């Protein structure tokens, strides 16, 4: 696997796990390698699809274990997550 492919995978993985510093770092690396921004956007979109799928499964698991999650009915926690 070449360095360009590794950086595209890293952008997607960073998007999947919501890591803003990693996205910024790997975007600089993609620019250094002259990777077309459309390719970078496509890789990030794949990561976001993975993120959405994982989040949906987590919501399903919480619903199965605890019933409907409070945050899905409008009540947010005070921890800062989701606000």
Structure tokens, 2: 């070449």
Nearest to 11 by CA among 53, 39, 33, 32: 39
Instruction: Kindly report the pTM of this predicted structure.
Output: 0.74
CATH number of this structure's domain 3-66:
1.20.1290.10
Q: In the chain, what percentage of residues exceed pLDDT 90?
A: 80
* Per-residue pLDDT at 72: 54
Whether 27 shows a pLDDT value over 60: the answer reads yes
Q: Which residue has the tokens 């360009």?
A: 4
What are the residue boundaries of the structural domains of the chain, listed by start?
3-66
Give the residue-averaged pLDDT of 12-34.
Answer: 98
Question: pLDDT of 62-79, one tens digit each?
Answer: 999 998 866 555 544 444
Maximum Cα–Cα distance across the chain: 48
- Cβ-in-10-Å burial (0-12, 13-18, 19+) of 19 comes to middle
pLDDT, tens digit, 9 for 90 and up, residues 29-50: 999 999 999 999 999 999 999 9
For 37-53, the three-class secondary structure string (H helix, E strand, C coil) is HHHHHHHHHHHHHHHHH
């Amino acid at each position: 696997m070449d360095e360009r492919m590794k950086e595209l995978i890293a952008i997607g993985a960073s998007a999947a796990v919501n890591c803003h510093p990693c996205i910024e770092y790997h975007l600089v690396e993609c620019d250094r390698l002259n990777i077309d921004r459309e390719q970078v956007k496509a890789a990030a979109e794949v990561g976001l699809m993975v993120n959405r799928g994982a989040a949906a499964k987590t919501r399903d698991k919480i619903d199965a274990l605890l019933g409907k999650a409070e945050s899905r009915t409008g009540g947010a926690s005070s921890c800062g997550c989701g606000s």
